[in-house]
Structure 1
Amino acid sequence: MDKQFLFEVAVLVAGILCLLKGYLDRKGEKLSGVVSGFVNMDGYDFPMIRFQYNGQELEARAANGDKGNKMKHKEGDRVDIVYRPGKAKYVNILGDNHDIYISVALIVCGLVMVILRLVSK
C-alpha cells in the first residue's frame, strides 16, 4: 500500500468517526436555554447557553461557533439544546449541524478518492 492510498482511507475513516461523534453528541437531555453571551476562540464566536437541569442553573459553551456577520444567534435568543450530563464540556444547539456537514463532506471525499483509485487500476 502506498502513502496516498493510506491518506485516502484515513480521510474516509476520519469522516466516519466524526459522524459517529456528532451522532453521540446529540444523545442526551433535550432542554431549552437562552444565549447568555459569546466566547471567542480562534476567531469564532461560540454562544454561551444558560439553562436549567435538575433545578440547577448551568451555563455551557455551544459546540458550534460562527464567524463575522454570519451569526445565527443573538444574546437573549431562546434555543433548544442537547445536554449530556457528566460527559459534556459543551452543549449542542438543535439545528446547528456544521459538524455533521463536515463529517459528510469528509466521507464523500474519502469515498470518491478510494473509488477513483480502485477504478483507475
Structure 2
Amino acid sequence: MLQAPRGRARAALRRFAVAAHTMAGASGRARLFDVRTREEAAAGTIPGALNIPVSELESALQMEPAAFQALYSAEKPKLEDEHLVFFCQMGKRGLQATQLARSLGYTGARNYAGAYREWLEKES
C-alpha cells in the first residue's frame, strides 16, 4: 500500500494537482505531460495533462509549432518555459522524458517522481 505523501512531497503533489487545472502555459504555471501509452492515459490521467507517449516525445518536441498544434491540439512548449512536468505510471518513463526534454534544451523540464500512481492515491 502506498504511503500518503508528507511535507515537501505533499506540497509538491498539491502544486501539480492545481497546475493540472491551469495548464494554459502562462508564466509561472505548470504544463503537465502524461508520457504513458495512449491506452494507459485513456484509462485515467491527471486532469489537464497532455498525453504524448514517451516513445514519440523526442519527435514531438522537435516538431514545428504548427505541426505540434495540429497533431496534439495544444501549443508546443517553448524552450524557455519554466514548468514542464512529465509523469508516467510509476516514475521511470517520466524521468526518461524529463531527461530527454532537458537534452533538447527544455531547461524547465521536471519529473513528477510520484507519478500518476501517487496522484491517484491522493485523489482516492
Say which structure, 1 or 2, has more relative contact order (CA 8 Å, 6+ apart): 1
Q: TM-score range by the shorter chain?
A: under 0.3
TM-score, length of structure 1 as denominator length? 0.27
Higher Cα Rg, which structure: 1
Q: Which has the higher helix share?
A: 2
TM-score, length of structure 2 as denominator length? 0.27
